Amino acid sequence: MTELETVDSWKSHGGTQGVYRHASRETGTDMLFSVFVPDHEPGTTLPVLWYLSGLTCTHANVTEKGEFRAACAERGIIFVAPDTSPRGEGVPDDSAGEWDFGLGAGFYVDASERPFSDHYRMASYVADELPELVSEHFPVDPERQSICGHSMGGHGALVMGLRHPGRYRSVSAFAPIVNPSQVPWGKKAFALYLGPDKSVWRKHDAVALIEDGARLDELLVDIGTDDPFLEEQLTPGRLEQACREKDISLRLRRQQGYDHSYYFISTFMADHVHWHADRLVK
């Protein structure tokens, strides 16, 4: 069994909220993540909802501000939140010190370009290594998984769902970057992580994946109408058009007056948990 260190643990909403550390084979660093486990009968397994966070975040943002525990306890769902990038001594960052690339901005890809390729392997970490580790240490039912995320993590959730058909029973997102190969945040990250070949970029872009034949049965997406990144970076209309053209059921909810923050996410988090739960218990 892979070694797992308990960093902290609290009783909350009829369950246990923990933060854990392990040595990652994919990133070559120690990685932190959080897990909420509702109280349950011994020997039973529970469905799991994976949550991918956005730019500059760690596992702590949603753990402390996401307000998911009451709904997860009610529906009997394990909630797992990984970090957004590798961290530690020797992990390369953006040399210019800009906030939207490097540490805290892994974009859920496996980097192929130096100097990032040694550590920035977040696609394999989230898709393969962390699920294996969580299954070893927590009462997860691997046949009942769903995924959601925010902003950069919304991009990650959509791409994970599209690239791994059949793995997740449901996929949702808050304010996702839906077409990263065509917007400033994504162009910067993809060029530095993946190199200049834009055909490679398409494999990490939800709109492009849908255009190229990837499918999901349905999607739930919430966006705030007062989100300052809405038009330049998030471009939800492109996802709406792609889903319409490819006959994918998209429920795109434009939430009036909400922005990009956890005030927005926490308001609608329980909706997403219950939406996933309805699909996880089938």
Instruction: Out of 151, 170, 172, 181, pick the active-site residue.
Output: 151
Instruction: Out of 155, 260, 272, 276, pick the active-site residue.
Output: 260
The whole-number pLDDT of residue 18 equals: 98
Report the alpha-carbon distance of residue 179 to residue 233 in Å, rounded: 8
Report the alpha-carbon distance of residue 187 to residue 155 in Å, rounded: 13
CATH number at residue 159: 3.40.50.1820
Q: Find the mean pLDDT for residues 31-37.
A: 98
Q: What is the pLDDT of residues 202-226, one digit of tens each?
A: 999 999 999 999 999 999 999 999 9
Q: What is the pLDDT of residues 162-179, one digit of tens each?
A: 999 999 999 999 999 999
Residue 34 bears catalytic tag: no
Q: What is the pLDDT of residues 104-140, one digit of tens each?
A: 999 999 999 999 999 999 999 999 999 999 999 999 9
Residue 204 bears catalytic tag: no
Tallying the residues shown for the chain, one arrives at 282
Number of domains in the chain: 1
The whole-number pLDDT of residue 94 equals: 78
The whole-number pLDDT of residue 95 equals: 67
Pick the range with the lowest mean pLDDT from 23-27, 32-36, 88-92, 193-197: 88-92
Whether 89 and 59 have beta carbons less than 8 Å apart is answered as no
* pLDDT tops 80 at residue 97: no
Q: What is the pLDDT of residues 99-111, one digit of tens each?
A: 899 999 999 999 9
Count CB neighbours of 46 within 10 A.
19
Question: pLDDT band at 98, cuts 50/70/90?
Answer: confident
Whether 258 and 264 have beta carbons less than 8 Å apart is answered as yes
Residue 151 bears catalytic tag: yes
77 phi and psi angles, rounded to 5 deg: -120, 130
Whether 35 and 18 have beta carbons less than 8 Å apart is answered as yes
Q: What is the pLDDT of residues 60-80, one digit of tens each?
A: 999 999 999 999 999 999 999
The whole-number pLDDT of residue 242 equals: 98
Give Cα 7 to chain centroid, integer Å: 22
Instruction: Out of 110, 205, 222, 227, pick the active-site residue.
Output: 227
Partners of 227 in the β-ladder: none
Q: What is the pLDDT of residues 240-276, one digit of tens each?
A: 999 999 999 999 999 999 999 999 999 999 999 999 9
Range of the domain at 174: 5-280
